[in-house]
Chain A
Amino acid sequence: MQRLLFIIQKEFIQIFRNKGMLPLITVVPIVQLIVLSFAASNEVKDVNLAIVDLDHSQYARELVHKIEVADRFILVDFPPATRHGDERLQDGTVDIVLTIPPDFEQDFFKNKGAAVQLLVNAINGQQATVGAAYLSTIVRDFNQEIQQDVLPVRRLAAGAPRIEIASSNWFNEELNYQYFMAPGIMGELVTILVMLLTAMNIVRERELGTIEQINVTPIKKWQFILGKMIPFLIVGLILLTVGLTAGKLIFDVPFRGSLWVIFAYCLVNLAAVLGLGLFISNISDTQQQALLTTFFFVIIFILLSGLFTPIESMPTWAQYLTVPNPIAHFVHVMRSVLLKGSTFGDVLYNFKVTAVLVVVFNVLAVSSYRKVV
């Protein structure tokens, strides 16, 4: 037991002695949290728009006005001809070109299928579809308004029965994207950082030659591994605390559930991640190799964690891949507990799966550590 303490003490001294390292595990993650939470938004706004008005009628002007006041669009240009609109699209200054054809108003009055045309730069699929959908909605509303000009009131107030749909957004009424991103990013950052640090750790001692000195001492395998893990576990918990504080102060993320559940889960999660990190460290010959291997896992873990895109949108086989993914569970627990107030029982499944991962990864870590060649 006492031997264990000496290893832990040594690791801490090394962490705090490294001047380059300290800011990297304190300030930088906070900056990441802030930047990522702001940047990682799939909100569609500020779509750049050009309108080619070839009709110059009253209705055309009204439609343009309606679009102007919608806050999702920035009207960047009124090109005089369709050709100019295309050029704008080509050089990337606008995302969508709306063309109001000549005789738009007349066609409408004659009920001859008046129509506007949308040219959409669809390279970014989401921006394109959502932007076009917003515009279509505006045109539809406009359509309903001007129908009143030509149709008798009787026909408008149709006698057909209607279902009124009232929708409400639970747990995040204002649809605040940062509430959604910040907790997930905290989980992800803690996991990545701890995994990278551990993965580099043992292999670093191997590269520098100090591991040999340790191997000739009577220290036990488990003492050595545990001595390496505990300091990083503590670093991870501190990081989580700092992250939660920052999330509260900067984004005012609601804390609906119990922080105990969060910390308890973090502990289990880190135990799993540390095992994986040490396993990678043990099977690597150089830090470069360890780093690359970790990266390979981390990138796949992040992309398949549901952090940026919903797990429900993945194909079924990929959804199974999220089960052995510690980041996916961490992100889920953080969001559920903080935003929805989920209890320990609600996230029990995540605890159980992660506990299995703890056993698997750590058995791998201990068995792959060889004192003797």
Chain B
Amino acid sequence: MLKIFLAFVRKETFHILRDTRTLVILFGMPIALVLIFGYTISNEFKGASIAIVDEARDALSAELIAHLTASGHFELVAQPPDMAGMEKAFQTGEVKLGIVIPAGFEQSFFREKRAAVQLLADATEPNYATTLTNYATQMITAFQQEQGRVEVLPYQVGVHIQMLYNPTLVGAYNFIPGVVALILMLICAMMTSLTIAREKETGTMDLLLVSPLSPMVILLGKVTPYVVLSFVNAVIVFLLGYLVFDVPVRGSIVLLLVLCLLYLMVALGLGVLISTLAATQQTAMMTSLFTLLMPTMILSGFIFPIASMPTALQYAAHIIPAKYFIEIEKNIMLKGAGWEAVQFSSLVLVAMMLFLFAAAWRNFKVVYD
């Protein structure tokens, strides 16, 4: 029994190993993802192209412009004559922020002690617009203090901020757990559902099913190599995170890896369930894409904070396995928490696994009896 099972595992492993391109992608994908997230994905404000309508054209307005551009955060790319020109600059997308300095700027500032500046942000992207406006406001306020020599009032209330677990606000602390959850789901669930659908489509499944082995043993034999592959991939991502981005594992590594396997089992259950429902590889693929991958990326809190979502989606997030797994990862890796802290999430995953296996088993029988 065990021997035949191992024979299946061997057969499937040969299939995978012979396909060099798949292997390259399976191992290249997590690495590429980690590097992209690590180096390119950021909401951090780096600088923006601005346009200035200078209606004042006096010494102070020139100084303000110099002050804004000298910081290196704002690059002045256009000086349209009027507001219509400004709108055009927004429409081509070359400019993200517009600043209007009204006529008589210097006079108002020194004589009336009160001058106005108008900020226009391209608010198609609300967060970026807010960030830009805040940045420009800070710089103009600094300019005003420099020019007006404002004294600092006594009786200040200070705010001491202490960033815990991730003092330097490294994005990697957030995305490494997310990438692991995504990769495991992708390889384990999607690849298993595809391999099984493939055997059904090409008719080789029937050959396997008439063998004296129980269908489930056959299935397990088919999927075991993918479980191993996914697990190796997870370890690679953890290592990359540790070596390249200094993401620590403060808690128990053994516990982390054991729970990793638990999550893999959930992914496996999903994969097998999908393959019992889908007749062709195309259907299996589309189902995996839209029911596994997208939700894992979007609703797990990996890219977007769950707290910002509408209530209905927050509830929906509770059935996403990745959500629990990411919680587990963050607790163990970043907070150094032990079993008690991850107990609940782990039990939820166990329940999901049992449910999925039961459902897959039921469906499998219906199809092949």
Contact = CB atoms under 8 A, between A and B. Distances in A.
- Within 8 Å by CB, do A and B touch in the complex? yes
Interface of A: 18, 20-21, 24-25, 28, 31-32, 35-36, 38-48, 89-92, 108, 111, 113-129, 132, 135-136, 139-140, 142-143, 146-147, 150-151, 155-156, 158-173, 175-177, 179-180, 196-197, 200, 204, 207-208, 284-289, 291-293, 295-296, 299-300, 303-304, 308-310, 312-315, 318, 332, 335-336, 339-343, 346-347
B159 A163 contact: no
A172 B118 CA distance: 17
Contacts of B322: none
Contact of B286 (A21, A125, A155, A171): A21
In which size bucket is the chain B interface?
35 or more
B144 A162 contact: yes
Interface of B: 19, 21-22, 25-26, 28-29, 32-33, 36-37, 39-48, 87-88, 90-93, 96, 98, 109-110, 113-130, 133, 136-137, 140-141, 143-144, 147-151, 153-167, 169-171, 173-174, 186, 191, 194-195, 198, 201-202, 278-283, 285-287, 289-290, 294, 298-299, 303-305, 307-310, 313, 316, 327, 330-331, 334-335, 337, 341
Contact of B119 (A117, A120, A167): A167
Given A128-B163, A288-B191, A292-B25, A163 B117 contact: yes
A90 B122 contact: no
A165 B32 contact: no
A118 B160 CA distance: 6
Nearest to B39: A315
A121 B336 CA distance: 14
B169 A36 contact: no
Contacts of A293: 21, 25
A161 B129 contact: no
A167 B137 contact: yes
A93 to B, nearest CB: 11
Contacts of B281: 200, 204, 287-288, 291
B114 A164 contact: yes
Contacts of A341: 91
A342 to B, nearest CB: 4
Given A164-B117, A292-B191, 15 more contacts: A28-B286, A140-B159, A160-B113, A161-B148, A163-B115, A165-B141, A167-B119, A170-B87, A170-B121, A180-B124, A284-B21, A289-B21, A303-B40, A314-B42, A332-B93
B126 A119 contact: no
Contacts of B28: 296
Nearest to A148: B155
B287 A24 contact: yes
B25 to A, nearest CB: 5
Contacts of A42: 43, 127, 304-305, 308
A109 to B, nearest CB: 8
Contacts of A171: 90, 122-124
